[in-house]
Amino acid sequence: MLDNKLGIRDSVELAREEERITKKKALELFETGKLNSIEVGTFRGLAEIHKYLFEDIYEFVGKIRKENISKSNFRFASAVYLEEALKKIDDMPQSNFDEIVEKYVEMNIAHPFREGNGRSTRIWLDMILKKKIGKVVDWSKIDKEDYLLAMERSPIKNTEIKILLNNALTDKIDDREVYMKGVDSSYNYEGYNLFRTSELNTNE
């Protein structure tokens, strides 16, 4: 289990508190308008999102990992080459839907942080889509298993994830409900589903 600022030593309790705290932070990002001030489509912007979400829980927030990590037999980018890979991703074009999704797939392969990559990167993806094509993903329309399988295959062929995301695009780019449901769906992909974002009070 990861060392954390909360002093929690039980993995189930840590997962619960991580979900509760970071969902509130995700809602804050939207409600305060802070999302609109974050750099779009760069690792720097992604690191800022990651830091904001997880800064109350982990020390390593916003920092490039030094460890090699894997998931479901897939090994993410080697830590040795990570900085170089992130510079190349920064330079990737993002002028249309296909280019944006290709950039998203590469950032997922990079997986630059020790924890919280998927949740941060989906917000990052929506920021690019919003700025470049005036759309965001309604994540509540994408089935968990369909998404995970498509992302697992995306390093080899990204057609499947492009179709899934394209079919879920909406022009409700500033809709609070779409955003909150999207956060809940994004977290559910990672197995976090105890709290609904709409029921969390950011003032507490």
Q: Give residue 11's pLDDT band: very low, low, confident or very high (50, 70, 90).
A: very high
H or E segment to which residue 176 belongs: helix 176-189
Report the interhelical angle of 159-167 vs 144-153 (nearest 10°): 150
The three-class DSSP label of residue 59 is coil
Q: Give residue 2's pLDDT band: very low, low, confident or very high (50, 70, 90).
A: confident
Which residue is associated with the tokens 């954390």?
4
Residues 5 and 70: their CA atoms lie apart, in Å, by: 24
Cα distances from 132 to residues 23, 65, 118, 126, 161, in angstroms, run 26, 29, 21, 10, 19
**pLDDT tens digits, one per residue of 32-64:** 999 999 999 999 999 999 999 999 999 999 999
CATH superfamily of 11-199: Fido-like domain (1.10.3290.10)
Q: Is the pLDDT of residue 16 over 80?
A: yes
Domain ranges within the chain, ordered by starting residue: 11-199
Here the tokens at position 13 are 């309790």
Q: Can you give the pLDDT at residue 204?
A: 55
Whether 30 contacts 83, CB under 8 Å: no
Q: Could you say which DSSP state residue 142 is in? A: S
**pLDDT tens digits, one per residue of 94-105:** 999 999 999 999
Q: Give residue 202's pLDDT band: very low, low, confident or very high (50, 70, 90).
A: low
Residues 147 and 181: their CA atoms lie apart, in Å, by: 16
**pLDDT tens digits, one per residue of 115-148:** 999 999 999 999 999 999 999 999 999 999 999 9
Residue 92, amino acid: M
**pLDDT tens digits, one per residue of 176-194:** 999 999 999 999 999 999 9
**pLDDT tens digits, one per residue of 68-79:** 998 877 899 999
Phi then psi for 56, rounded to 5 degrees? -85, -5
H or E segment to which residue 168 belongs: none
Residue 178, amino acid: V
Whether 68 contacts 82, CB under 8 Å: no
| Mean of pLDDT over the chain | 96
